[in-house]
C-alpha cells in the first residue's frame, strides 16, 4: 500500500479509537437500569462531567509517546492536540458545576470545603488542580517556572485532578451503581494507572537498560555544540532523517528531566548518533560541560518530519533558520550517504555569516549531492553578494525551482519565519500537503 494512504488510514483509525473511548461514558450511561430522572439540566450537567473526566484521563495516552499512535500525525501535532483538547475538557468540566449552581443555588454551599461532604471536596479540589494545571502551562514563562519544574508539576497536578475526579464520581455514586457503568470506570481507572505505570516506571527502566556513551562534544558556530554518542552494549536505534529523541543527560531516567533534540547525523550511520544543540536555556547552556565517556539516555526516535515519509518525491526543498538546520542536516547527510542525486534546494537564513552552523560542511556536501544552496543573511558583511534580509516571497521566487508544486518542502526555524514561509509558499501555489514542519514551542 502507498505509504501516504497507509498513514491516513492509521490516522483515521486512531482518531476513531480516541473518539470512542472519550465518548463511551455517554453511551454507557444509558445501559442497564437507569436511576430516577432528576430533570434535564441536572442530567446534562452530569453527562458533561463524565465526558470531561474521560477526556482528562485519556490525556495520559496522548502524552505516552506511543510511536505507532503518533506516526500518522507527528509528535508536535499530538502535543498540540493534547493542549487544545485540555481547553475543551476544561470548559466542559467547568460547565458541570456551573449548571448545577444555576439550577440549584443551594449547591453553592458545596464550595465550602470545611462543611461540604467528601465527594464534593474531591470534586472541587479536582477542578482546582485542573485549573492550576492549565494555568502553569499557559503562563509558564510569565510565572518564571523552569521547564523541568513545570514538567514535574504538570504530571502531579494531572494525576491529582483525575484521581480526585474519580473519587468524586464514585462518592456521588448515582450513575456508577450498575455493573456496566462500574466496569467502564474501573476499566478506565486501570488503563490510566497502567499508562502512568508504563510512563513513569517501565519506560524509564527500559531506557536505563539501553545507555549511550558520549564519544565527543565538539563546538560548532553560533554557541552550538554537537554531542556524538554510541550505543553502549546494545544495537541502538534505527531512525529516519529529521526525527528527534528525548535526551536525559545528568539525571536518572526516572527523574523525568529529559529534553527533545533533533538528530543531526546520517540515518545511514546509526551506530553513532549526533545531536547539535544551541545554547538557548538553562539546560542547553550546560551541553558543553558533557564529558566524553559519560552515560546518557535516549527515548526515540520520534517525529514525522522526514524525507522518508515522502520517498517518491522528485525533489526536496529545505528551508532552515539558524539552529533549525539540525534535522535538515540529518536529511542532507543521509541523502549524501545514500548516493541520492535528486534535485535539492536549501534556503538557509541566519543572522550573519559567522553564525552559519555547518557552513563548511554544507559547502562540502554539495559535491556529493545535486544541491543548490541559498544563504540569506540578516546582517551580511560588506562584500556579501548573496541574499540578505528575510526569507521573503521574492526571495523564494528567485531561489526555488520552476516546478514548485512537484517538490516536497521541509521547514524548520523560528516560529515567525516558519509562519511567513508557509504563507509565501501558499501564495506561490505550493499545495499545503507538500509542506512539512514540526513545532515544539508549546509551553
Instruction: Give the interface with another protein as residue ranges (CB under 8 A).
Output: 15, 19, 22-23, 26-27, 29-30, 34-37, 39-41, 43-44, 47-48, 51-52, 55, 73-74, 77, 80-81, 84-85, 87-88, 91-92, 422, 432, 435, 439
Q: Which is nearer to another protein, 283 or 407 (CB)?
A: 407
Q: Which is nearer to another protein, 212 or 435 (CB)?
A: 435
Nearest approach, Cβ of 272 to another protein (angstroms)? 32
Nearest approach, Cβ of 76 to another protein (angstroms)? 8
Q: Which is nearer to another protein, 8 or 118 (CB)?
A: 8
Nearest approach, Cβ of 307 to another protein (angstroms)? 17
User: What does the alpha-carbon distance between residue 284 and residue 278 come to, in Å, rounded to a whole number?
Assistant: 7
Nearest approach, Cβ of 89 to another protein (angstroms)? 8
Q: Which is nearer to another protein, 87 or 250 (CB)?
A: 87
Nearest approach, Cβ of 26 to another protein (angstroms)? 5
Q: Which is nearer to another protein, 316 or 435 (CB)?
A: 435
Nearest approach, Cβ of 51 to another protein (angstroms)? 4
Q: Which is nearer to another protein, 23 or 201 (CB)?
A: 23
Amino acid at each position: 500500500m502507498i505509504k501516504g494512504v497507509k498513514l491516513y488510514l492509521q490516522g483515521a483509525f486512531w482518531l476513531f479509537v480516541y473518539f470512542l473511548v472519550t465518548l463511551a461514558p455517554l453511551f454507557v450511561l444509558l445501559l442497564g437500569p437507569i436511576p430516577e430522572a432528576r430533570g434535564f439540566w441536572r442530567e446534562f450537567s452530569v453527562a458533561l462531567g463524565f465526558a470531561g473526566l474521560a477526556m482528562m484521563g485519556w490525556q495520559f495516552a496522548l502524552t505516552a509517546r506511543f510511536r505507532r499512535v503518533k506516526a500518522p500525525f507527528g509528535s508536535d501535532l499530538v502535543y498540540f492536540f493534547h493542549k487544545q483538547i485540555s481547553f475543551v475538557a476544561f470548559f466542559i468540566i467547568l460547565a458541570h458545576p456551573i449548571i448545577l449552581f444555576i439550577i440549584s443555588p443551594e449547591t453553592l454551599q458545596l464550595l465550602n470545603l470545611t462543611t461540604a461532604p467528601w465527594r464534593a471536596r474531591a470534586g472541587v479540589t479536582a477542578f482546582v488542580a485542573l485549573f492550576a494545571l492549565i494555568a502553569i502551562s499557559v503562563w509558564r514563562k510569565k510565572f518564571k517556572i523552569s521547564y523541568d519544574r513545570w514538567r514535574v508539576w504538570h504530571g502531579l497536578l494531572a494525576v491529582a485532578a483525575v484521581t480526585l475526579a474519580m473519587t468524586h464520581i464514585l462518592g456521588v455514586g448515582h450513575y456508577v451503581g450498575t455493573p456496566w457503568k462500574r466496569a467502564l470506570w474501573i476499566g478506565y481507572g486501570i488503563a490510566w494507572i497502567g499508562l502512568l505505570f508504563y510512563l513513569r516506571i517501565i519506560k524509564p527502566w527500559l531506557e536505563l537498560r539501553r545507555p549511550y556513551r558520549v564519544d565527543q562534544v565538539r563546538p560548532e558556530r553560533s554557541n552550538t555544540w554537537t554531542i556524538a554518542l554510541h550505543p553502549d552494549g546494545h544495537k541502538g536505534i534505527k531512525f529516519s532523517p529529521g526525527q528527534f529523541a528525548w535526551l536525559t543527560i545528568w539525571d536518572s531516567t526516572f527523574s523525568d528531566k529529559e529534553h527533545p533534540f533533533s538528530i543531526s547525523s546520517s540515518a545511514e550511520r546509526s551506530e553513532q548518533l549526533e545531536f547539535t544543540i544551541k545554547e538557548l536555556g538553562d539546560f542547553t547552556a550546560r551541553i558543553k560541560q558533557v564529558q566524553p565517556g559519560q552515560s546518557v539516555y535516549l527515548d526515540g526516535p520520534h517525529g514525522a518530519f522526514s524525507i522518508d515519509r515522502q520517498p517518491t518525491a522528485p525533489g526536496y526543498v529545505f528551508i532552515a533558520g539558524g539552529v533549525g538546520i539540525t534535522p535538515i542536516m540529518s536529511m542532507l547527510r543521509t541523502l549524501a550517504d545514500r548516493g541520492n542525486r535528486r534535485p535539492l534546494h536549501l534556503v538557509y537564513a541566519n543572522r550573519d555569516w559567522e553564525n552559519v552552523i555547518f557552513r563548511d560542511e554544507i559547502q562540502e556536501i554539495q559535491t556529493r549531492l545535486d544541491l543548490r544552496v541559498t544563504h540569506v543573511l540578516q546582517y551580511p558583511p560588506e562584500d556579501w553578494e548573496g541574499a540578505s534580509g528575510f526569507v521573503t516571497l521574492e526571495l523564494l521566487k528567485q531561489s526555488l525551482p520552476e516546478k514548485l508544486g512537484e517538490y516536497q518542502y521541509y521547514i524548520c526555524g523560528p516560529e515567525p519565519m516558519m509562519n511567513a514561509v508557509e504563507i509565501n509558499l501558499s501564495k506561490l501555489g505550493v499545495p499545503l500537503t507538500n509542506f512539512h514542519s514540526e513545532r515544539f514551542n508549546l509551553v
